[in-house]
Amino acid sequence: MNITPCFNLKLRQADRVLTSYYDNSLRDLGITIAQFSVLRVLSMLKNPSQKELQEVLVLQQTTLTRNLKPLIRSGYVQTNPSPDDGRVTLVSLTDEGKALFNKAKIRWKQAQSGISQHLGDELSAQLLQVADAILTLRS
């Protein structure tokens, strides 16, 4: 049987493997790689709106909300109305969130190194290039 390769299927399979790998490295901190990604972006941006956060992470609003809720409930992230426009919600790390991010960043770097060692330098660089090229498909 000859099955035509499907980019979507292969990328989703790879995504599940990578997600599991990162999640395992963060498990004892009580967060997932998706939640770490939120913390990471919040550590880089100063009080982004939920809409800005959604755009940077390339997430639908419902997915962002699903990732934010446990972080807010645990006291790692806070939301506040924008002083300029009360309809806009700003998102930021709390002091506890900053501390968690600093711990998680060490685990993330270890996972990154493990993946990079497994793939090798050339393939790791190519993976990032392919991912960047795919992101240009966004509409």
Map out the domains of the chain as residue ranges.
29-135
pLDDT tens sequence across 101-136: 999 999 999 999 999 999 999 999 999 999 999 999
Strand partners, 79: 91
pLDDT tens sequence across 19-34: 999 999 999 999 999 9
Helices (H), 27-84: 33-44, 50-57, 61-73
* Assigned token pair, 63: 């997915």
Identify residue 102 by its one-letter amino acid code.
N
CATH of domain 29-135: 1.10.10.10
Spatial separation of the C-alpha atoms in residues 57 and 39, rounded to whole Å: 11
- pTM assigned to the model: 0.90
Spatial separation of the C-alpha atoms in residues 93 and 105, rounded to whole Å: 14
Phi, psi for 89 (deg, rounded to 5) = -105, 125
